[in-house]
Chains A and B, each alone.
Chain A
Amino acid sequence: MSLLEIRNLHAEVDGHEILKGIDLTINPGEVHSIMGPNGSGKSTLAQVLSRREAYHVTQGEVLFNGKNLLEMKPEEAAREGVFLAFQYPVEIPGIGNAYFLRSALNAIRTHHGLDELDAMDFIPFYREKMQLLDMDERLMNRSVNEGFSGGEKKRNEILQMAVLEPKLAILDETDSGLDIDALRIVAQGVNAMRSPDRSMLVVTHYQRLLDYIVPDFVHVLVDGRIVRSGGKELALELEDKGYGWIENAPAAAGAVRA
């Protein structure tokens, strides 16, 4: 069974239709990339899948692990295994990173009938993941993202993903604002999490990230529709020719996946 099955998805924000019929299937273990110009609906797709309330689905359906994702609240989707690495991680003064992440992990564990982890069990696990992302341990007790540099915030997103171990990780423009060193560390963290039972949806404007996180499939989103799908070479072609090449070409019939 596929992990994610999107059929004819239409969504709007503030009355404007942004997604105009998306079809996409992701199987366990696959890494898909969604590329597209600004305003094409890439981030909207990411937000809809993580169930942000401001994004209204007007048509279509989304099955996650066979369940209707569109009926889930954000926390329910998260507990079922959807994770969104934010393009702009939110600063939350007054809530400590470790406390926050342990609360999240325990909410997920409880949902799956597992015992909650106390701080004694959680901290060593958390510390190990921090080392993987080359993060300063002192950040552990600071407030969530507060005063973090851009690179630290993005690494913190991947750290959360590493701790929460989702089935589907959606990376929304994770490369934006990162220098090449930070990008390598983030990509290394993401690649360490690739496994046959974890899928990823990598949303990006630039091909650069895909040099480090190599996708199995690439889809090009233009004006709310997937106009072309292909393998990783499609990203290179896009890099070469620019989005204008696709925007001016007729939509690929059915956006067939390889």
Chain B
Amino acid sequence: MTQVAQLERYLDAYTEFARETAGAPAWLRELRDTAFARFSSVGFPTLRDEDWRFTGLARLTRTPFRLARGSDNHFTVSDLVQWRMEGAAARLVFVDGRLEPQLSNWGTLPRGVTVNGLAKEIASQPDALPKHFGRYLDIQRDPFSALNTAFAEDGAYIHVARGVALEQPIHLLFITTSGPAPAMTHPRNLIVVENEGQATIIEDYVSHGDATPAFSNAVTELVAGENASVQHIMLEREHLQTFNFSTLRIEQARSANVASHSLLLGGSLVRNNVHPVLHGEGGECLINGLFIGSGRQHLDNYMLVEHASPHCASRQFYNGILDQQAHGVFHGRIVVHKDAQKTDAKQTNRNLLLDDNAQIDTKPQLEIYADDVKCTHGATIGQIEETALFYLRSRGIGEMEARRLLLEAFAGECIERMKPGAAREYTESIVFERLLSVANAGSYGKSSVVEERDRNWEEVG
């Protein structure tokens, strides 16, 4: 199918969407139109695009997705028990991109904390939103961000007022259901933590049913005011037919401290973009990630860290565990702008390949326009050490258990960078459960028979 024919499907979807949402505020309609125009003019990226060198999109672009418009699936609160997080301050549940208020739980939020659905917020505060909404996301650079903005309608809106510290995390649960045909959703979140505010937000992407492919293309704009402290967790564990794309755009003011933790565990083709801009002096940013792939999963981690002010520090740590024919990508780009003197940027990517057929592409990319900076990067690729495995086994620990312990230790490096608390415990239990399945599946170097599908995400002409 030609690129034009593929884009036509999106045009049809957009035309219908624009008609249905004609009542939206003018600024939003304009933003959507501009974004869709941008998407139509550039289309989906190809392997020739430097930012997409390792991730082909043929399977995504070939699949005829329709825009999910509300779900036929009727969930009850008891259906949600499997995704329940203990100790959350509030939980918003989105089914196929739409907020489900009756499934959500606002808990007892302290004064100064607003948690709402974005659609509701647009309806009730149409003029307040443009202050931040769409201001930071670069729809020129990334077609998926443009596509998200074109279809932006619902998602989470979180506002933490100046000086308010929210101790417990806010849980945002995004459930993709399996309908009769492939469907796409474009969740859009806006998180604003004002000066000296503090919050932890966890975005949790899960699937219900796995019969049809789904395409989730989420964007979160996170604004951290001066001295604000924000922890953001992205937990992706969808079923193995999904395409999960996400972008976290972080805007940091002076001395703001933001930690982003991305955990990619599920999905068929996954791309996670993290794009912080350190816009005030003295800002600190931790970009921490863990990706665990098996089967034929393709997990792509793309980071663009922009140092735009002096005296800021950024740390990127990504650990990957890849088994069978899984393919991981770590693409860490650091841009130090001209005036960002005394920048301290560090990037580390460590990978464990458990099978001869697993693959990792790791690519650091430093662009430095200031002259007094410290930037380091490093990447390692290894296997489970035979000596460590033998050491554990020589003490009586069984082989599977020994592997599990070693995998947990490797993944634990990432978990330990999270703040202790409810969100970390929740994340840890999910990661360990995933590792248990990897440890028990154990193809480990032996060539495994996996159902043959098109391995190469070949380019579509």
Contact = CB atoms under 8 A, between A and B. Distances in A.
Do A and B form a real pair? Answer: yes
B409 A95 contact: yes
B393 interface: yes
Given A93-B409, A94-B410, A94-B412, A107 B391 contact: no
Contacts of A92: 388, 391-392, 406, 409
A164 B395 CA distance: 8
Interface string A73-93: 111011100011010011011
Contacts of A101: 395
A94 B408 CA distance: 8
Given A94-B413, A95-B409, A84 B394 contact: yes
A164 B396 contact: yes
A78 B409 contact: no
Nearest to B398: A75
B387 interface: yes
Contacts of A54: 386
Interface string B371-410: 0000000000000011110111111111101100110111
A89 B391 contact: yes
A100 B408 contact: no
A89 B397 CA distance: 16
A104 B409 contact: no
**Chain B: interface secondary structure?**
helix
A101 B391 CA distance: 12
28 contacts: A73-B393, A75-B397, A75-B402, A78-B393, A78-B394, A78-B396, A83-B394, A86-B394, A90-B385, A90-B391, A92-B409, A94-B409, A94-B413, A95-B406, A95-B409, A100-B392, A100-B397, A100-B405, A103-B397, A103-B401, A103-B405, A105-B396, A107-B396, A107-B397, A107-B398, A143-B409, A160-B395, A164-B396
A19 interface: no
Interchain residue pairs A-B with the least CB separation, the first 4: A94-B409, A104-B395, A78-B396, A74-B393
A50 interface: yes
A141 to B, nearest CB: 13
A22 to B, nearest CB: 20
Nearest to A88: B387
B390 A74 contact: yes
A93 B405 CA distance: 11
Nearest to A84: B394
A90 B397 contact: no
A49 B217 CA distance: 56
Nearest to A111: B396
A52 interface: yes
B406 A104 contact: no
A108 B396 contact: yes
Interface in B411-433: 412-413
A79 B391 contact: no
Contacts of B399: 73, 75
Nearest to A74: B393
Contact of B396 (A75, A93, A95): A75
Interface residues of B, number: 23
Interface string A94-128: 11000011011101100100000000000000000
Contacts of A74: 390, 393-394
B401 A107 contact: yes
A199 B22 CA distance: 86
A135 to B, nearest CB: 17
Nearest to A91: B388
Contacts of B388: 90, 92
B382 to A, nearest CB: 12
A11 to B, nearest CB: 16
A60 to B, nearest CB: 21
Nearest to A99: B405
Interface string A214-239: 00000000000000000000000000
A73 B401 CA distance: 14
Given A103-B397, A107-B395, A160-B395, 5 more contacts: A53-B390, A75-B398, A92-B388, A101-B395, A105-B396
A164 B387 CA distance: 20
B417 to A, nearest CB: 13
A77 B393 CA distance: 9
A79 B394 CA distance: 9
Interface string B304-322: 0000000000000000000
Contacts of B391: 86, 89-90, 92, 144
Nearest to B393: A74
B122 to A, nearest CB: 46
Interface in A45-82: 50-54, 73-75, 77-79
Contacts of A53: 390
A89 B385 CA distance: 13
A238 to B, nearest CB: 29
Contacts of A103: 397, 401, 405
A118 B405 CA distance: 18
Contacts of B409: 92-95, 143
Tell me which of B392, B394, B397, B398 has the highest count of chain A C-beta atoms within 10 A of its own C-beta: B394
